Amino acid sequence: MITSQSLRRMRRGSRPSAASARAIHDLIVSGPTKKPIIAYGPPGRSAVTGQVATVFGCTGFLGRYLVAKLAKAGTQVIVPYRDEDMKRHLKPMGDLGQIVNMEWDLRNDDQVRECLRHSDIVYNLVSRDYETKNYSFEDVNVTGAAKIASLAQEAKVSRFVHVSHLNASPTSPSKFYATKAQGEEAVRESFPMATIVRPGPIYGYEDRLLRSIATWPSTWKMNNSNTKLRPVHVMDVAQGLTNLIYQPALARTLSLPGPQTFTIEQMFDLVQAITMNPASKAPHLPKVVAKLLARTSDFVWWPVLSPDQVERRYIDDANVEGDWDALGVVPDEIERHAVNYLQSYRAPENMYRPPVIPDSTNRTSPERSYHVMQ
């Protein structure tokens, strides 16, 4: 029951309680500019951390999950976009005023400056998995990355996070992996305190790994399906990137491989067990033939298998230790999530049957055991 006394208090406005009052611990001095950052409110979507993050490449696969993680914590996120329709789903991810859309072009320095000039941390997720007539691997992975890092240094941004790839190497036969390594060097030169993050192949709802194997298994039948992959969950990578905002700048390279190593043949087994579809009878393509077929992608406008992707089908993921501890994340195994992402590829009569998948503890054994997913 509302009394007259409480009604008068509501009209006057009550003083904040001790739990919600701001204190000295809410004040953070960040970066070389000594900018004061004030956080308030309980943790969550409606809180304000006082941090401003710019996520270049936010409309891509990993970017949308990173924006969701940042906005959910109360961080204001600058969303640079090229296509009006590609950024609409990001707006509801944060509270009112927390998602700020800004149009940009990688070759327009003024637009890049405007996107990052108020930021406390800048994430560069911009990448190109295949080349187009407008953007080559060098344009995006090297020149573009160096430009964003240079302009961030010029604006005295406190932290810069550049997302590369686990297999980045200047001597790689893949042009994509080679330019990723060159981009890392260019970023280091432009922003010496940058954090380089190298995730493995990422899977999730909109991925190009599990869905591709389920729908186009013939494009993976190369190298006798012996290429080794270390897939990592998109939510784990997004959480690790989010955690960087609460840490001092880490001027180092962080490798984020998945906790398990699969051959492509074992990935076929996993996908087949979950989708309950018959195994593909497509033959294993020789490398020369696969590259010749991949060149037909130049005659269609939608992304298909490119010659450089064929080259990558023959390269094992780097056998390196993960740096997940530095980010406070324990990566999940793929079996815990693959059912959610692949169940839609089942036939109607198999929709609710529990999948029987290879036991992860016996993955390297020729005669593997199996278990039922409940």
Which tens digit of pLDDT belongs to each residue from 166-183? Answer: 999 999 999 999 999 999
Percent of the chain at pLDDT exceeding 90 = 66
pLDDT in tens, 181-219: 999 999 999 999 999 999 999 999 999 999 999 999 999
Which domain range does residue 75 map to? 27-350
> Residue 31 — very low, low, confident or very high, per pLDDT cuts 50/70/90?
low
49 occurs within a structural domain: yes
Q: Which segment of 10-24, 38-52, 211-225 scores lowest on mean pLDDT?
A: 10-24
Residue 77 lies in a domain: yes
pLDDT at 246: 84
Residue 284 pLDDT class (50, 70, 90 cuts): very high
How far is residue 14's CA from residue 309's CA, in Å, rounded to a whole number?
62
Whether residue 260 lies inside any domain: the answer is yes
The answer as to whether 135 is a domain residue is yes
pLDDT in the model for residue 233: 97
Residue 358 lies inside a defined structural domain of this protein: no
What ranges in the chain are assigned the alpha helix state H? 4-12, 61-72, 109-116, 137, 145-154, 175-190, 210-215, 234-243, 264-275, 287-294, 307-312, 335-342
Contact 127, 140 (CB under 8 A): yes
- Let me know if residue 5 belongs to a domain: no
What pLDDT score was predicted for residue 9? 41
Give domain status of residue 364, yes or no: no
In a domain, 257, yes or no: yes
Residue with tokens 């880490």: 250
Q: How confident is the model at residue 48 (pLDDT cuts 50, 70, 90)?
A: confident
Q: What is the mean pLDDT of residues 142-154?
A: 97
Tokens 């956080």 belong to: 39
CB-count exposure of residue 349 (10 Å: 0-12, 13-18, 19+): exposed
b (16+ CB within 10 A) / e for 155-186? bebbbbbbbbbbbbeeebebbbbbbbbbbbeb
Domain count for the chain: 1
Residue 319 exposed, middle or buried by CB count within 10 Å (0-12, 13-18, 19+): exposed
Stretch 109-116: mean pLDDT, rounded? 96
Reported confidence tier of residue 10, pLDDT bands at 50, 70, 90: very low
Residue 323 banded pLDDT, cuts 50, 70, 90: very high
The phi and psi torsions of 369 (rounded to 5 degrees) equal: -90, 165
Q: What is the CATH number of the domain that holds 199?
A: 3.40.50.720
